[in-house]
Structure 1
Amino acid sequence: MLNETAKKLVDEIIKKLAESKESISSSFGELLSLLIDKLQLSKDKKFVFLLLGKTGVGKSSTVNSLLNQEIAPVGKYDATTMEVQEYEHEINGVKCSIIDTPGLCDDIPEKGNNQKYIELIQNQVKQIDLLWFVTRLDDSRVGEDEKKGIQIISEAFTPKVWEHSVIIFTRANKADDYLEELRERTKRIRDEIAKHIGHEIANKIPSVAVDNKSQTTPDGKRWLEELYTQVFIRMSERGAIPFLMATASRINKTQSHKNNRDPNWTFYNPSESQDKDENREFDANDFIFNSIQKELIKQKIIEVIPALAVAGATIGAVAGGPIGAAIGGVVGAALGGIFYFFS
């Protein structure tokens, strides 16, 4: 027999699953949040972004756009010294850290001692789930200071850090020939990274062009969903689940309150989306993925299933008896619901 606490747990999760059958998209985030809470997947866990790039290129603005909150302050002044700054935050009960490296890619008087900065970063940065290399698309070359930053990060960590990285080009709408410059700039950045880790890893690093003052890039495509997709699929498995839980409520959920919109969030006009379902209303903060992005996200979820399975088994072992089996079934059913949504 299930004890009362165990029975309430199972009943609560089953109720959410039942609701998701009617509208899987509306309860997707709530379902995932419930699972991660009950299975303690996010307990003492967080995701960590390490930012690399010149001061003023839009690192903080882009992170804030992705997470829809002011996580990292937007600086107005040039860096004057090498340092490591960490900004901690919590989104939907999930902890996150944004670590910036002001001065690392800047032309400042304090330079010429790479080993000092390598030790500084190694001492202060203990977890990296994704490395963001941020640079302007309308800056035609890889600057000497950017080269220095790439070198220091490559020497401070193993080449594996670049396996969990993404190249982000800001000011996309300032490019004269958008697609050509995107291709050329991506190649140049990858070539510079390859000098330290080889082309096999460097050539697999994806690039995303963004513009924090527009919802689209010059080719008419919305960039925020592409940024989310590449960030998620390139993250370490350790950070992927907390990141998904922190943002799940914004994935194509049904908008139940018409006028509950953030006036400061201007990137979305869902009426312009070709994927719009005429029977649904969207919150301005929702992500609306295309079929390719959905498939990539689904494949990443498949990769992190072992973590869900282990968590379910752990809770089951602690609870023992029927509750363990019940939770295992719930996890399986929830994953089925996730895959249904992303199919």
Structure 2
Amino acid sequence: MLNETTKKLVDEITKNFAASKESISSSFGELLSLLIDKLQLSQDKKFVFLLLGKTGVGKSSTVNSLLSKEIANVGKYDATTMQVQEYEHEMNGIKCLIIDTPGLCDDIPEKANNQKYIELIQNQVKQIDLLWFVTRLDDSRVGEDEKKGIQIISEAFTPKVWEHSVIVFTRANKADDYLEELQERTKRIRDEIAKHTGHEIANKIPSVAVDNKSQTTPDGKRWLEELYTQVFIRMSERGAIPFLMATATRINKTQSNKDKREPNWTFYNNYEFETGDKEDVTSEFNVNDFVFTGIQKELIKKKIIELIPVLAVAGASVGAVVGGPIGSAIGGVVGAAVGSIFYFFS
């Protein structure tokens, strides 16, 4: 049931549409009620990221950049044994769990004990909404240790785990020929994953290059919004709505995509890579809003409709007018989520 304040606002918006000869569904109030019910059911749920990649490639730093919080610790693991590190956090009232697997993709003495690692991961990891395979763009080959990690994860969770996954390339600024290396590295990793899944699954896994030292990749494009887009559209249905709700307050509902305002990046947490290079790789935003391109908005909108089919009836005019007012009227995490959802329909 809609609260009285929201009901009055919906009635007022409907009248305004009628007065301006705009079209709005007569069942808009019912649509909004169903949307609120769906979001309320997701408030107590969580989303889970599983990170796979060598120690020191920037897994934690990239997750922290996406979520704009230091959720996963950025530090030096002792890459001599298999571990499972869990980081729990709450964002906008929504719980999230980041699971890291230091040692799994490292060339460690116990690498022959694959079955032990499989059992360890199966015992500790009960939910995966998105698997991140993180590797360096400037590392031209798929190492034997990374191949081992891909094999273990595939055997521990079946090849279907890759249906909800994304390939993340760090250190994009270190590539000699950025676009060529991105294409070639993506192909090589997909080919390796395909040994366990087949090409039909592997070739659908998106890749995103990131640079935790800059807001753009070498081609001048912003990577954070692209990472957000691919993470959201690849997540399981179970985790996607909680993820959207957790990040709703960072989705700018008024700023034009043509606005060139950039985040004020502050670098901290000096981190030593396996190569011995020391770089500041974690970034903190003073400006938290995402600025999506038209294509990114359409991809996210399509995913939202898959999750909440009733929203397919919401036209562009509805999204443009009701997002902010309705979200403010509802208030809280649900209101923020309603506002951000309608932003993608504007």
TM-score (norm 1): 0.75
- Residue in structure 2 matched with residue 201 of structure 1 by the alignment: 201
Equivalents in 1 of 2:121, 2:58: separation in Å?
A: 21
What residue identity is the alignment partner of 1:82? M
Equivalents in 2 of 1:340, 1:44: separation in Å?
A: 24
Instruction: Answer whether contact 1:191 1:199 (CA < 8 A) is retained.
Output: yes
What residue identity is the alignment partner of 1:183? Q
Q: Which runs of 5+ in 1 are unaligned?
A: 1-5, 22-31, 256-260, 267-281, 310-326
Equivalents in 1 of 2:263, 2:10: separation in Å?
A: 27
Instruction: Answer whether contact 1:50 1:131 (CA < 8 A) is retained.
Output: yes
Which aligned pairs between 1:201-240 and structure 2 lie closer than 5 A?
Answer: 201-240=201-240
How far 1:108 sits from its partner (Å)? 1.4
Instruction: Answer whether contact 1:52 1:131 (CA < 8 A) is retained.
Output: yes
Which aligned pairs between 1:10-25 and structure 2 lie closer than 5 A?
Answer: 10-12=4-6, 15=9
- Residue in structure 1 matched with residue 292 of structure 2 by the alignment: 289
What residue identity is the alignment partner of 1:55? T
How far 1:116 sits from its partner (Å)? 0.7
Number of aligned positions between the proteins: 282
Question: RMSD in angstroms over aligned alpha carbons?
Answer: 3.1
Residue 303 (structure 2) pairs with residue 304 (structure 1):
no
Q: Which runs of 5+ in 2 are unaligned?
A: 17-31, 256-261, 268-284, 313-329
Residue 63 (structure 2) pairs with residue 63 (structure 1):
yes
Query: The residue matched to 1:49 in structure 2 has which SS?
Result: strand
* Cα distance change of structure 1 residues 13 and 300 upon mapping to structure 2, 3 Å threshold: farther
1:124-174 per-residue CA deviation (whole Å, 9 max, x = no partner) reads: 111000000000000000010000000000000122110000000000000
Query: The residue matched to 2:167 in structure 1 has which SS?
Result: strand
- Residue in structure 1 matched with residue 275 of structure 2 by the alignment: none
Query: The residue matched to 2:40 in structure 1 has which SS?
Result: coil
TM superposition outliers: structure 1 runs of 4+ over 4 Å: 12-19, 35-39, 261-266, 306-309, 334-337
- Residue in structure 1 matched with residue 132 of structure 2 by the alignment: 132
- Residue in structure 2 matched with residue 86 of structure 1 by the alignment: 86
What residue identity is the alignment partner of 2:250? R
Equivalents in 1 of 2:264, 2:154: separation in Å?
A: 41
Instruction: Answer whether contact 2:54 2:103 (CA < 8 A) is retained.
Output: yes
- Residue in structure 2 matched with residue 109 of structure 1 by the alignment: 109
- Residue in structure 1 matched with residue 250 of structure 2 by the alignment: 250
Query: The residue matched to 1:40 in structure 2 has which SS?
Result: helix
TM-score (norm 2): 0.74
% identical aligned pairs: 85
